[in-house]
Amino acid sequence: MQNNVYCILGDGELQEGQIWEAALYAHQYKLNHLTAFVDWNKKQVDGYVEDMLSLMDIADKFKAFGWYAQTVDGSDPDGIVQAVDTARREQQDRPAVIVLDGVKGSGIKAVEELSFNHFIDIPEDLAERCMEELTETMSRLEEGMSHD
């Protein structure tokens, strides 16, 4: 039986050494049933990732560690599924990483537009705006599904 293992990493988390030690280990032992997703939203609890400790090109960094790597639009579910399928076909005897290029708070403009939205209190007015936006999004999605 073949099992696949998936893990999710934050871009700020990639600034920590144990991540790269694990990346080396995964390549060394040909963990080709491992796929990591990096949530590359460019923010961390204390500011922008680029200002704290630049990661440069995340996919290139993983490639240098012997991984199969690709970057996709993190807000495109179909693109993510396609990336997983591609990784399964292309990774051969190495682990894979899919870098999800996104925006923190994506899908809710009121949260996306906040400068510091990693750790936030949600006052009642913000909660109401978020619920309104989510309700509108759900209505559009349901309407689109009824036309298929």
Q: pLDDT by residue for the chain (148 residues), tens digit each?
A: 578 999 999 999 999 999 999 999 999 999 999 999 999 989 888 888 899 999 999 999 999 999 999 999 998 989 999 999 999 999 999 999 999 999 888 878 878 877 777 777 888 998 998 899 889 888 988 887 776 5
Describe the strand order of the beta sheet including 68-73 as a list of residue ranges.
Answer: 5-10, 34-40, 96-101, 68-73
- Find where tokens 């936030």 sit: 120
Provide the CATH topology of domain 5-101. Rossmann fold (3.40.50)
Q: What is the pLDDT of residue 148?
A: 59
Q: Are 112 and 101 in contact (CB under 8 A)?
A: no
Q: Which amino acid appears at position 132 of this protein?
A: E
**What is the rounded distance in angstroms from the CA atom of residue 48 to the CA atom of residue 103?**
12
- The stretches of the chain forming alpha helices (DSSP H) are 17-28, 49-52, 58-64, 77-90, 109-112, 124-146
Radius of gyration of the chain (CA): 18
What is the model's pTM? Answer: 0.83
**What is the rounded distance in angstroms from the CA atom of residue 66 to the CA atom of residue 84?**
18
